[in-house]
Structure 1
Amino acid sequence: MGGALAVTLGSILYPTMLGFQKVDSAPERVIAAPDTGQLTEADRDFVVKVRAAGLWEYPVGRLASKKGATKAVKIAGEHLTTGDAALDASCRKTAGQLGITLPNQPSPQQQGFVSRLTADSGKQFGADMATTVRAADGQLLATIASVRSTTRNLLVRALADQANDTILDHITVVEKTGLVDFDQALFQETAQPTLPARDVTPPPPVAGQSQVVLTPPTSSTPSPSPTVG
C-alpha cells in the first residue's frame, strides 16, 4: 500500500535483547527527551507491544470474519480488524514522531497463536480465538494502565488512551461470543512467564524493509490482508 512510513532503524535501541519479560528491570530509565516529554524504556516497549499486538490480532480477526461459525464470532473478527488497523496507524505515527523502531512481525509466541488458529475450524476455532484474545488483551490492558499512569510523554499518553478503548472493545466482543474459557484465560493472563525473552519479543525489522501496514476493512473488502507499503 502506497504512502507507508519508512522504517526508522537504530534511532532508539530496539528491545530485542531486553525481552518484554525483562522491561521491569529498568522501566523508568529515560532513553530520550523529545519536546513531548521524557521517554522511558517502559514507554518505548509499550509502543512496540501495541504494534506487535496488532500484527497478530489483525490476521486473527480476518480468520474470524471468514471462519466464524456464529454471527458473534464474525462480529468479533470485524472489531479486531477495524480496531487494530486504526490503532496501528496511530502507533506507526507515534513511533515515527518519537524515533522508535517498530517490528514488522509479531513475537514467535504470537506467531504461534496465529498458526494454531489458522489450523482450527468450526466451534473449536471460535473457542480458541475468544480465549486467546481475551487472555492476551487482558495482559495488555494491565500494561496500558501502568504506562498511562506513569508516562511523561504526551504522545505515549494519547496512544495509551486509544489502546485502552480498542482493547476494551476487543475484550467485550470476544466475551459476547460466549466461548471464552475464563479459567484458562485468567490462568494464561496471570501465570508467571516461563518462555525465554526471544519467544516473547518481536524480531526487529530487516534493514531497508518498508513497514507493514494494516489496512482498514471496507464494505467491498471486509477482511483485507496486511500490505507492505
Structure 2
Amino acid sequence: MSATRSSAGTGAVCATLLCLTGATTAPALASPPRPSATVSSLDTQLLTAGHQGNLWEIATGQAAQTDATSACVKQVGAVFIRDHRALDAGLVKTASKLGVALPSGQTAGQQRQAVALKAAARTRSYDAAWLKAQYTAHVQTLSLIDKEIAAGTNPQVKALAKSARPVVERHTRLVSKGVCHSPMAASSRPSASAR
C-alpha cells in the first residue's frame, strides 16, 4: 500500500459517515446491523490513501516491466505488483464491510507522476526517478500506517495497518534512498526471527 503522493490528495480524503438507525416507530422494521466500531477520519484516510497508493504501485510496477532498463527495477516492480494486489484485496474487503466508499482511481498527483515517469521510459533516468518515487511513496505510507496503528479507532482498520506494515517496510528497503536492492538477495537473508 502506498500513501497519497500529494498534499492536495491527502487533504481531500473523503469522510464516510456511518448512519446508525436508532429505535424505529414501526416495530416490524428491522434495524440495520451495527458495525463493531465506528470509522474515524484517520481510519478512512488510511483506507482511501492506501487504496489509491496500491493502484499507483500496481500501475507503476507494471510500467517498470517494460520501461525500466535495470533487471533489479523490473524485479522490484514485479514484487510490488504481487504484494500491492494482495494488500488492496484485503483493504477493499475491509472498506466494503465498514461501508467506506473508495475512490475509483489514483490521485491527480499520482497520475502526473506516472506520466512524468513514462516520459523517461527505457532510460537510466527512468530507473532513478522510479526508485526515488517508490522510496518517497513507501516512506509516506509507513508514516500513515504508524499513525493509524497509534491513533486509529477501528480495530479492523488497525489490524489491516499492522498486517501491511512489514510488507511496506520491506518494499522501502528494496528501494532504500533511491537505490535498487534485489528482492532475490533480500529473500535469501535470514529473517529476524530465524537469527
Normalised to the residue count of structure 1, the TM-score between the two structures is: 0.62
Q: Partners in 2 of 1:98 and 1:83 — Cα distance? A: 23
Partner of 2:103: 103
The 5 A counterparts of 1:76-95 are: 76-95=76-95
The 5 A counterparts of 1:126-145 are: 126-145=127-146
Match for 1:150: what amino acid? A
Match for 1:75: what amino acid? Q
Give 1:94 shift.
0.5
Tell me how large the CA RMSD over aligned residues is.
Answer: 2.5
Q: Deviation per CA, 1:161-184, whole angstroms, max 9, x where unpaired?
A: 23212221221112297269xxxx
Give 1:143 shift.
0.9
Aligned length: 158
The question of 1:173 aligning with 2:174 is answered: yes
The question of whether the paired residues in 2 share the 8 Å contact of 1:61 and 1:77 is answered with yes
The question of whether the paired residues in 1 share the 8 Å contact of 2:149 and 2:158 is answered with yes
Q: Partners in 2 of 1:142 and 1:54 — Cα distance? A: 15
Partner of 2:192: none
The question of whether the paired residues in 1 share the 8 Å contact of 2:56 and 2:106 is answered with yes
Give the fraction of aligned pairs with identical amino acids, expressed as a percent.
25
Q: Partners in 2 of 1:148 and 1:171 — Cα distance? A: 18
Match for 1:156: what amino acid? V
The gaps in structure 1 that reach 5 residues or longer are: 1-17, 24-28, 181-229
Partner of 1:214: none
The gaps in structure 2 that reach 5 residues or longer are: 1-7, 21-33, 182-195
The question of whether the paired residues in 2 share the 8 Å contact of 1:72 and 1:176 is answered with no
Q: Partners in 1 of 2:12 and 2:65 — Cα distance? A: 35
Q: Partners in 2 of 1:104 and 1:98 — Cα distance? A: 17
The 5 A counterparts of 1:69-80 are: 69-80=69-80
Match for 2:71: what amino acid? K
The verdict on how the C-alpha distance between 1:30 and 1:52 changes in structure 2, with shifts beyond 3 A counting, is closer
The question of 1:61 aligning with 2:61 is answered: yes
The question of 1:44 aligning with 2:44 is answered: yes
Q: Deviation per CA, 1:106-153, whole angstroms, max 9, x where unpaired?
A: 110011111111221221111000001111221121111011111221
Normalised to the residue count of structure 2, the TM-score between the two structures is: 0.73
**SS of residue matched to 1:152:** coil
The question of whether the paired residues in 2 share the 8 Å contact of 1:65 and 1:77 is answered with yes
Runs of 4+ in 1 over 3 A off after TM superposition: 29-35
The question of whether the paired residues in 1 share the 8 Å contact of 2:58 and 2:85 is answered with yes
